[in-house]
């Protein structure tokens, strides 16, 4: 008996046995290659049976019996995940002995033969065998992954291998489909996908990572006790020391991550609609009779009481945020509640089911993206002829938020003098809509004012169904922009649940991020709101900053005296 290493040919044959017997056949490769290169909306392919069925069944058993999943949730996803499978080599022998088939699977996927297969199908060139990048994901009930393009570092090909229950075929109505989006232009995906691929046992999907093109998402899973289990990862370009390595390729291929794209929002101060005249300084002292009459048409009388407004101003000065419950008067609240409840019922929301894309197009409401930043319904300004009650009511609220009377009311309760405004009425549909974290990059603060009209307020309180608004501290520059931070890791400054008839006023400093969490298909209805931002005088912010600096200097002087 000898200790000779097996020949290269025998090693390749041993990897072949881990795959479906027909996969590496010349005709099979040609068929997959041809389908890949005519696919839309961008180059991808679906292979119905990738691995040896017995091996994959054993892998699934090992995963469920021996691995621990941790829930991870941010603005862009909610998923249960294991650690990086590239680290399997470092496990103690006794732990690795419980994952022998998973170890075989990982090595087979990154073997030279399978990498050559991927290269032959995609024409992507050589791929790295040393840089393994894969993890196991379990999408349980309410889990989802929102729109992004997978562009991070040296990724060349993305893939997903599904390990759903082999004895129970996946029902598309349970969600969990991989959705592929066309682009309106490079870097801007369409609001809705054109390809939907439901998961199935032993199915393998892959696509080349194309900056500005490979936008995709994972539809929310809406079924209990039936996890969408998968192994997903990336093949990278060759690393130093590997055949095909190009020292210049990393810099050339390094494209901006989706988070970097979001954080590179340009200064959009020019998008504010400016008021005709600036307010006088004494506008913060009270309201004229004309203003009170205009506001009384739709606001609750308590918020027009000068004593309460002064209390609100004091709190806002201390905390930079105030919440006004029951801001609309009874007449307006009841009309909006009736209209929104009727619309949600007609559109099929509130039943815990995934409704098709396109639902909710009624009256003036249209879908607005782009979905790698946001998706929700807004009112189309060019179409003003409608019988839809929600369109008429929310268009009227938009006008009230831009009125001089409301501007003056804001001046009293915030002691700030708005110069301009921008905003819109929005509808966030269950199973579809959200905003991702974006940053105030204007170089100064702005005033956020949001009126929320959730259909059933008590069911939103836990945040379990999403729809809440979260303000987060600025992203640290030294951190990798490719990594999305969870709110509890990053440090949420403020979180407001989707309330019923609640107005939230927030002074948002430069650099502060905010987002509306994806609204789950299990939510009791849509999140309807009117969200405006108000431009503030730069001098006012500068004075506040100078006051803060003076306070700090004085504190420093006191410290020097006591040392």
Angle at 124 between CA 122 and CA 128, to 5 degrees: 115
pLDDT at 261: 54
Q: How far is CA 311 from the centre of its chain?
A: 37
Between the alpha carbon of residue 144 and those of residues 4, 80, 149, 180, 481, the distances in Å are 49, 10, 15, 14, 21
Angle at 540 between CA 537 and CA 546, to 5 degrees: 140
**Can you spell out the DSSP letters for 247-270?**
TTHHHHH-PPPHHHHHHT----GG
**Three-class DSSP category at 205:** strand
Q: Which residues contact 120 (CB under 8 A, 6 or more apart)?
A: 29, 33
- What CATH number should be reported for the domain whose range is 16-256? 2.60.120.620
Taking the CA of residue 384 as centre, how many other CA atoms within 13 Å lie in the half-sphere pointing to its CB? Answer: 4
pLDDT at 151 (0 to 100): 86
Q: Starting from the edge strand earliest in sequence, which strands make up the sheet with 513-516, in order?
A: 438-439, 513-516, 469-472, 492-496
- Per-residue burial over 99-123, b = 16 or more CB atoms within 10 Å of its CB, e = otherwise: bebbbbbbbbbbbebbbebbbebbe
Contact 49, 104 (CB under 8 A): no
CA separation for the pair 56, 50 (Å, rounded): 9
Residue corresponding to tokens 């420093």? 556
How does pLDDT run along the chain (563 residues), one tens digit per residue? Answer: 334 434 444 444 578 899 999 999 999 999 999 999 999 999 999 999 999 999 999 999 999 999 999 999 999 999 999 988 888 888 889 889 999 999 999 999 999 999 999 999 999 999 999 999 999 999 999 999 999 998 888 899 999 999 999 999 999 999 999 999 999 999 999 999 999 999 999 999 999 999 999 999 999 999 999 999 999 999 999 998 888 888 876 554 455 555 555 555 444 555 899 999 999 999 999 999 999 999 999 999 999 999 999 999 999 999 999 999 999 999 999 999 999 999 999 999 999 999 999 999 999 999 999 999 999 999 998 777 778 999 999 999 999 999 999 999 999 999 999 999 999 999 999 999 999 998 877 778 899 999 999 977 678 988 889 999 999 987 665 444 444 444 444 578 999 999 999 999 999 998 899 999 999 999 999 999 999 999 999 855 555 544 544 554 554 444 443 34
Alpha-helix runs per DSSP H in 2-41: 8-16, 26-36
**Which residues, in sequence order, are bridge partners of residue 133?**
234
**Domain segments of the chain: what residues?**
16-256, 289-535
Q: Which residues contact 53 (CB under 8 A, 6 or more apart)?
A: 20, 166, 202
Contact (Cβ atoms closer than 8 angstroms) between residue 362 and residue 427: no
Residue of 14, 28, 48 lying closest to 166 (CA atoms): 48
Q: On the CB side of 481, how many CA atoms lie within 13 Å of its CA?
A: 18
| CB 260 within 8 Å of CB 389 | no
**Would you say 447 and 507 are in contact if contact means Cβ atoms under 8 Å apart?**
yes
- In the block, residue with structure tokens 């249209």: 366
User: Which pTM does this prediction carry?
Assistant: 0.89
Q: Which residues contact 512 (CB under 8 A, 6 or more apart)?
A: 439, 440, 471, 472, 473, 474, 493
Which of 432, 504, 513 has the alpha carbon at shortest distance from 466? Answer: 432
CATH code, residues 289-535: 3.60.130.20
What is residue 88's DSSP assignment? G
CA pair distance 362, 364, nearest whole angstrom: 6
Q: What pLDDT score does 250 carry? A: 55
The tokens of 510 are what?
A: 């430069």
**Res 83: pLDDT:** 82
pLDDT at 328: 98
Element of type H or E holding 299 = none
């Amino acid at each position: 008996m000898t200790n000779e290493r097996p020949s290269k040919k025998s090693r390749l044959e041993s990897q072949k046995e881990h795959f479906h017997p027909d996969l590496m056949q010349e005709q099979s490769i040609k068929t997959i290659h041809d389908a890949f290169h005519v696919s839309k909306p961008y180059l991808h392919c679906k292979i119905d049976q990738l691995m040896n069925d017995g091996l994959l069944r054993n892998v699934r058993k090992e995963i469920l019996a021996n691995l621990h999943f941790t829930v991870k949730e941010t603005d862009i996803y909610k998923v249960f995940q294991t650690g990086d499978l590239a680290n399997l080599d470092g496990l103690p022998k006794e732990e690795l002995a419980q994952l022998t088939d998973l170890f075989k699977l990982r090595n087979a996927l990154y073997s030279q033969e399978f990498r050559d297969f991927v290269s032959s199908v995609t024409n992507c060139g050589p791929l790295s065998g040393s840089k393994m990048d894969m993890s196991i994901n379990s999408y349980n009930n309410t889990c989802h992954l929102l729109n992004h393009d997978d562009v991070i570092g040296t990724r060349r090909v993305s893939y997903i291998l599904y390990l759903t229950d082999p004895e129970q075929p996946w029902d598309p109505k349970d969600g969990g489909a991989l959705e592929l989006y066309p682009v309106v232009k490079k870097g801007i995906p369409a609001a809705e996908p054109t390809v939907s691929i439901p998961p199935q046992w032993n199915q393998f999907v892959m696509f080349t990572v194309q900056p500005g093109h490979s936008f995709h998402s994972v539809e929310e899973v809406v079924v209990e006790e039936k996890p969408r289990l998968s192994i997903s990862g990336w093949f990278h370009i060759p690393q130093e020391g590997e055949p095909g390595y190009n020292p210049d390729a990393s810099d050339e291929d390094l494209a901006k991550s989706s988070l970097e794209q979001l954080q590179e929002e340009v200064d959009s101060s020019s998008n504010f609609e400016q008021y005709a005249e600036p307010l006088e300084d004494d506008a913060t002292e009270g309201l004229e009779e004309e203003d009170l009459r205009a506001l009384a048409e739709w606001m609750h009388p308590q918020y027009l009481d000068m004593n309460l407004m002064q209390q609100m101003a004091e709190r806002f000065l201390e905390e930079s945020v105030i919440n006004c419950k029951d801001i609309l008067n009874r007449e307006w609240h009841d009309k909006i509640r009736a209209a929104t409840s009727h619309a949600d019922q007609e559109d099929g929301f509130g039943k815990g089911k995934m409704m098709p894309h396109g639902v909710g197009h009624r009256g003036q409401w249209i879908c607005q993206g782009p979905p790698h930043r946001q998706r929700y319904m807004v009112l189309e300004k060019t179409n003003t002829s409608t019988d839809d009650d929600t369109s008429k009511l929310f268009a009227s609220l938009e006008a009230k938020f831009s009125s001089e009377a409301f501007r003056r009311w804001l001046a009293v309760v915030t002691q700030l003098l708005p110069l301009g405004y921008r905003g819109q009425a929005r509808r966030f549909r269950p199973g579809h809509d959200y905003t991702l974290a974006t940053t105030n990059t204007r170089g100064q603060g702005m005033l956020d004012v949001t009126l929320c009209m959730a259909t059933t307020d008590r069911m939103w309180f836990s945040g379990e169904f999403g729809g809440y608004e979260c303000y987060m501290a600025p992203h640290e520059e030294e951190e990798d922009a490719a990594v999305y931070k969870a709110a509890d890791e990053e440090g949420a400054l403020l979180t407001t649940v989707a309330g019923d008839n609640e107005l939230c006023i927030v002074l948002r400093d430069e650099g502060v991020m905010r987002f509306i969490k994806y609204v789950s298909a299990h939510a009791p209805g849509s999140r309807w709101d009117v969200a405006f931002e108000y431009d503030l005088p730069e001098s006012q912010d500068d004075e506040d900053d100078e006051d803060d600096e003076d306070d700090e200097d004085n504190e420093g002087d006191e410290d020097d005296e006591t040392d």
